[in-house]
């Protein structure tokens, strides 16, 4: 009655999408993974329901601390998911940072994901932008579409400011 069950993965894997068979890329298949949570005191009434809010693994520690009534202590990156579990909120975050340190055949990158968008900047200076609702498999890079210019600037600024510390191998080249 007071145990929280969590099923989550740290990454997905590409299974041929983009002709890739790996996990270190920012695309949908590798960066979107399920998180299932059951905590009967808060979720019993809504069993089987789904929340489309972006959440990340770093949200688990603040959630547990919130449930046991303890402050998280020093600043933490994650956000408590208790409001989602209670059903009193439909989202706790609008966007989050994704990153890769490089190595192998994938360059280092920092990027931002929202419920509907993916922005990525590679250490090479190359960028990608996908409107995930229209292009769920990230096939058409819309970075140069002028109708996206303002939003790309916003996500670029967010990524530059929030991707701290930078992953090993990543530099924000001009």
State residue 20's pLDDT score.
65
Beta strands in the chain (DSSP E): 5-8, 35-38, 95-100, 109-114, 117-122, 127-131
pTM for the structure as a whole: 0.84
Over residues 54-76, the mean pLDDT reads 86
Mean pLDDT score of the chain, rounded to an integer?
Answer: 86
Do 114 and 95 form a contact (C-beta atoms < 8 A)?
Answer: yes
Beta strands in 20-108 (DSSP E): 35-38, 95-100
Asked if pLDDT for residue 117 goes beyond 90, the answer is yes
Q: Is 162 helix (H, G, I), strand (E, B) or coil?
A: helix
State residue 16's pLDDT score.
67
Asked if pLDDT for residue 119 goes beyond 90, the answer is yes
């Amino acid at each position: 009655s007071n145990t929280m069950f969590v099923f989550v993965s740290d990454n997905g894997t590409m299974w041929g999408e983009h002709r890739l068979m790996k996990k270190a890329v920012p695309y949908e298949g590798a960066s979107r993974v399920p998180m299932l949570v059951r905590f009967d005191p808060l979720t019993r009434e809504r069993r089987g329901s789904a929340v489309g809010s972006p959440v990340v693994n770093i949200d688990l520690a603040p959630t547990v601390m919130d449930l046991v009534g303890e402050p998280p202590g020093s600043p933490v990156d994650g956000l408590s998911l208790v409001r989602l579990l209670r059903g009193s909120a439909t989202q706790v975050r609008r966007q989050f940072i994704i990153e890769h340190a490089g190595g192998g055949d994938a360059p280092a990158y920092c990027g931002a994901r929202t419920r509907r968008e993916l922005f990525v900047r590679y250490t090479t200076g190359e960028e990608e932008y996908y409107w995930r609702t229209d292009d769920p498999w990230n096939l058409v890079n819309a970075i140069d579409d002028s109708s996206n210019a303002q939003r790309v600037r916003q996500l670029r600024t967010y990524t530059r400011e929030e991707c701290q510390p930078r992953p090993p191998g990543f530099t924000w080249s001009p």
